[in-house]
A = this chain, B = another copy of it.
Amino acid sequence: MAVNSPLPVAAELKPVNGIEIGFAEAGIKKPNRKDVLIMKLAPTATVAGVFTTNRFCAAPVQVSQANLAAAADSAGAAPIRALVVNTGNANAGTGESGLAKAQQTCAALAGLLGCNAQQILPFSTGVILEPLPVEKIVAALPAAIANLKQDNWFNAAEAIMTTDTQPKAVSRSVTIGGHAVTMTGISKGAGMIRPNMATMLGYLAFDARVAQPVLDELVRHAADHSFNCITIDGDTSTNDSFMLIATGAGTLEVNDAASPDYAALRDAVTGVSTNLAQQIIRDGEGATKFITITVEGGASVLECRKIAYSIAHSPLVKTAFFASDPNLGRILAAIGYAGVDDLDVGKLDLYLDDVWVAKNGGRNPDYQEADGQRVMKQSEITVRVTLGRGASAATVWTCDLSHDYVTINADYRS
């Protein structure tokens, strides 16, 4: 069940010049479902990405990081030409043979596209600690190439789904410096941080030309304000990746991160990224509520994020949201153990939407439980904490913890 999240409409997903998409049914885990995706890029494209910080990062993550670095070093001589994604197997916890298989996938696709293996970025998502059936992926590549087309974004969103109950995608058209820019993105899974090791994957393409160092900065900014602000259960996958693709097929060119065009592009990309990230939360495993947690008045963004995540990860807070129970002391407790050692709780206020719950660290004398109850029954709720110790703020989006979360994760492999 997804929280207030309408299915993306295929006809509303705009093709982006400079990127073609193909898919295939390789039968990696189950038959008769799209499980291999190819994105083929124009030679003008630049690509930048952020990846999981998990020390057990998957083989394809290691290969993609190395190949991105090689493409950047080539200064345009050997750009990334294609991305390949499989579901059904994460190729993580697979050691040296896993690395060899990720490279084998790249080599096979490179052979079919006429480039070298380093110009391919591989991605995998699914169960970890099991050998990748690389031969099935390689066998499916010609079929995926055969159906390459620009207008395949909805199929792409479906092809990367695992435990997702619905595909996640969005398009936006913007005008920057007089140039039309089309951007379309897809996502799947949940955190950088999330259930099932189902892996957060995000791909966002737009048709401007962006210099590599500028795109590197842009992807970091967009991730920090979108995919890095969501959490479902605090688990960080071995495979999380967010890739930003500037195809270079449009007329806008951005080579300077100090330019007004950069600022406009950054805000547009961040907006689309945030939409994709929030779609993940709305489709969180077992989610029945969409919760926004804002912490303000902090001495640093870091401490605001620590407190917001402490609230967002607390199983007690999450089960209270599921039950629509205004047991709001649990939120104060989660703030208290967030690890901000010099926090003066006597300066802290807590709001639930428009309801002032706690004042100066204690119950607001005017707070009525009926008001808290009213807000807790909503499917979208904002928790706002003010710390009274500075001007920094942070926001995190999360969902509740329901019976279905346990059911889904207890039954995942069966």
Measuring CB to CB, which residues of chain A are less than 8 angstroms from any residue of chain B?
53-57, 90, 92-98, 127-131, 195-197, 233-238, 313-316, 319-320, 322-323, 325, 327-330, 332-338, 340-341, 343, 345-346, 358, 360-363, 401-403, 405-407, 409-414
A336, B406: Cβ atoms under 8 Å?
no
- Among B53, B235, B320, B363, the residue within 8 A (CB) of A410 is B320
B333, A128: Cβ atoms under 8 Å?
yes
User: With A93-B363, A315-B235, A316-B235 in contact, do A327 and B127 touch (Cβ < 8 Å)?
Assistant: yes
**Complexed CA–CA distance, A401 and B322 (Å):** 16
Q: Which residues of B contact A338 (CB under 8 A)?
A: 55
Shortest beta-carbon distance from A21 to chain B in Å? 29
A55, B345: Cβ atoms under 8 Å?
yes
A363, B94: Cβ atoms under 8 Å?
yes
**Complexed CA–CA distance, A18 and B166 (Å):** 66
A409, B315: Cβ atoms under 8 Å?
yes
Q: Which residues of B contact A407 (CB under 8 A)?
A: 403
Q: Which residues of B contact A195 (CB under 8 A)?
A: 315-316
B93, A332: Cβ atoms under 8 Å?
yes
User: With A98-B362, A360-B95, A401-B406 in contact, do A56 and B336 touch (Cβ < 8 Å)?
Assistant: yes
- Among B98, B128, B361, B401, the residue within 8 A (CB) of A332 is B128
B363, A414: Cβ atoms under 8 Å?
no
**Complexed CA–CA distance, A128 and B329 (Å):** 5
24 residue pairs bridging A and B, Cβ less than 8 Å apart: A54-B337, A55-B337, A55-B343, A55-B345, A56-B333, A56-B345, A92-B329, A93-B362, A95-B360, A97-B362, A129-B328, A129-B332, A129-B362, A131-B363, A195-B316, A197-B329, A235-B315, A235-B330, A235-B334, A236-B336, A315-B315, A315-B409, A319-B410, A406-B406
User: With A93-B363, A315-B315, A409-B319 in contact, do A336 and B234 touch (Cβ < 8 Å)?
Assistant: no
A329, B403: Cβ atoms under 8 Å?
no
How many copies of this chain does the complex contain?
2
**Complexed CA–CA distance, A95 and B319 (Å):** 26
A362, B94: Cβ atoms under 8 Å?
yes
> Taking CB as reference atom, which chain B residue is nearest A404?
B406
Q: Which residues of B contact A90 (CB under 8 A)?
A: 329
> Taking CB as reference atom, which chain B residue is nearest A194?
B316
B56, A335: Cβ atoms under 8 Å?
yes
User: With A406-B406, A407-B403, A412-B325 in contact, do A358 and B93 touch (Cβ < 8 Å)?
Assistant: yes
A323, B56: Cβ atoms under 8 Å?
no
Q: Which residues of B contact A94 (CB under 8 A)?
A: 362-363
Q: Which 9 A-B pairs have the closest CB atoms?
A: A95-B362, A56-B336, A128-B329, A129-B329, A323-B410, A236-B337, A54-B336, A319-B409, A55-B336
Q: Which residues of B contact A236 (CB under 8 A)?
A: 333, 336-337
B238, A336: Cβ atoms under 8 Å?
yes
B402, A406: Cβ atoms under 8 Å?
yes
Shortest beta-carbon distance from A101 to chain B in Å? 12
Q: Which residues of B contact A57 (CB under 8 A)?
A: 336
Shortest beta-carbon distance from A142 to chain B in Å? 30
Q: Which residues of B contact A410 (CB under 8 A)?
A: 319-320, 322-323, 325
Q: Which residues of B contact A327 (CB under 8 A)?
A: 127, 412-413
Shortest beta-carbon distance from A296 to chain B in Å? 17
User: With A325-B410, A406-B406 in contact, do A332 and B56 touch (Cβ < 8 Å)?
Assistant: yes
B333, A237: Cβ atoms under 8 Å?
yes
Shortest beta-carbon distance from A282 to chain B in Å? 19
A95, B361: Cβ atoms under 8 Å?
yes
Q: Which residues of B contact A406 (CB under 8 A)?
A: 319, 322, 401-403, 405-406
**Complexed CA–CA distance, A269 and B58 (Å):** 45
User: With A332-B93, A407-B403, A410-B323 in contact, do A363 and B129 touch (Cβ < 8 Å)?
Assistant: yes
A234, B313: Cβ atoms under 8 Å?
yes
**Complexed CA–CA distance, A335 and B54 (Å):** 8
A333, B412: Cβ atoms under 8 Å?
no
